[in-house]
Amino acid sequence: MITLHTFGPSFGLPDASPFVNKALVLLKMSGLPYRVEAKFNPNGPKGKRPYMDDGSDRIADSTFIRWHIERKYGFDFDKGLTERQKAEGWALEKMCEDHLYWTVIDARWLTKSNYVKGPRTFFDGSPAPLRALVRVIAPRQVKKRGIALGIGRHSRVEIQSLAFHDLQALSDILGDKLYFFGDQPTGWDATFFAFVSSSLCKHFDTPIRDFAEQKPNLVAYSNRMMAKYFPELYFPALT
């Protein structure tokens, strides 16, 4: 059986990582049996999650997980889409993963109040002698990475304005459709849901969330996807 290595549910979301949530939705869409392993494994490939074990295959990165499912099991996440729509999906996915993601990371890790009630808790299980040190070092490392990428060189207000433009683009393209490419979800919706829901996460107080909440179609879309793929979180009283 497939094993997906994750961080585990956090902040009212299926996982703290939108990349994990993307992989979870892809697996649910595929209908393949799988199990989730949230136990920390520092030796995972590429040093990050999600990664997936499928027999003798170990696949790291949510995009490569998608390609593996398509190649090995013949599942078509793009069924019914034109070549143009596939290209648009790829372009929007890269906007979410390589741009919008880092604005949300900035809001969670580098705003003190959000860090304390969010990412700081990731280290609660660290060995006691190291815990305090790791909690100080981790956001510094995130800041260094942001500077290296370029987005961390901007002011907080400028970073937020970049996020607003990303979310506005997603809202404009979604329009009044149920899903980004019509009445049925495709593999691209796994990505868009992961990053829209991350932006809307109520656990964190950010102008990014405030802006996203002003887009009724994005709110409805996130709720629709959550109810479809994670009803145990969307309807907790019924499960």
End-to-end CA distance of the chain: 25
pLDDT tens track of the chain, all 239 residues? 999 999 999 999 999 999 999 999 999 999 999 999 997 666 678 888 999 999 999 999 999 999 999 999 999 999 999 999 999 999 999 999 999 999 999 999 999 999 999 999 988 888 888 899 999 999 999 999 999 999 999 999 999 999 999 999 999 999 999 999 999 999 999 999 999 999 999 999 999 999 999 999 999 999 999 999 999 987 765 54
Cis omega before residue 50 (within 30°)?
Answer: yes
Find out whether 229 and 25 touch, Cβ atoms under 8 Å: yes
Cα separation, 93 vs 46, whole angstroms? 21
Q: How far is CA 148 from CA 115, 117, 118, in A?
A: 21, 26, 23
Q: How far is CA 200 from CA 26, 70, 162, 230, in A?
A: 21, 30, 16, 16
Cα separation, 28 vs 35, whole angstroms? 11
Predicted TM-score of the model (pTM): 0.94
Instruction: Report the alpha-carbon angle 120-126-129, nearest 5.
Output: 105
Q: What is the pLDDT of residue 194?
A: 98
Cα separation, 63 vs 22, whole angstroms? 9
Q: What is the pLDDT of residue 128?
A: 83
